[in-house]
Amino acid sequence: MAYLPKTPPAFQGDIQHDLRDHLGDQRLLTLSDWVGEASTLYLRAADILRLRQQDALAITLDADERFDARSLWVAHDHMAAHWRAHRLPEVMAGRGRLSWPPAMLCNPVDSYRDLTAIFRQWLQLQTSAWADQMPDVLELFLRAVVGDHTRTGRFYEAELYFTLAELYPVPGVTSLKPLRTGRAA
């Protein structure tokens, strides 16, 4: 029986249907790790600057331990598509910053688990890069997290998607520029 994918391809040549479905199935765990990493980086910076008690975003992150994962589904799926298009070939060839021993990737048991771990590690590296080089992107990501599907939250979700689409292009997918002007690239 032929495999019937649950998720549509994100770009032409996105033929890793089973991996794409696995990343979608693991979306909530990945988002939990991603939000945890971003929150930790932001709150650590707020502590260093001694602004944790005055910064509204830091106060909100401290006060609420839960978030609505639906606000980041589009961002997750876009980043996963970019990773599959640009980084997965490097990983499979054993090149790039995130390369694991080929034996781990050739193992027919739990190989998707390993690829998901590499994807999550890549997300953490990107989040750390935002904290160091583009703190406005990290702040935008966290504002989308705390927005909880409010009108303002939806604005941040849309702006986050447009920003990620510009920073992390997916072949064949065009999107609008970020809504704000003057964004650091």
Contact yes or no for 124/37 (Cβ under 8 A): yes
- The predicted pLDDT at position 134 comes to 95
Q: What is the dihedral of CA 105, 111, 113, 118, to 10 degrees?
A: 20
C-alpha separations of 14 from 3, 4, 8, 138 in Å: 15, 14, 9, 28
Residue 44 carries which DSSP code? H
Contact yes or no for 57/153 (Cβ under 8 A): no
pTM: 0.83
- The predicted pLDDT at position 140 comes to 94
Give the amino acid at 59: I
- In the chain, where the domains are located: 17-167
Q: Say which residues have a Cβ less than 8 Å from residue 69's Cβ, sequence separation at least 6.
A: 27, 28, 31, 32
Compute the Cα dihedral for 171, 10, 164, 125 and give only its sign: negative
pLDDT (tens, 9 = 90+) of the chain, 185 residues, equals: 677 889 888 888 888 888 999 999 999 999 999 999 999 999 999 988 899 889 888 998 888 777 888 889 999 999 999 999 999 888 877 665 555 554 455 554 457 888 899 999 999 999 999 999 999 999 999 999 988 657 787 889 999 999 999 999 999 877 766 665 444 44
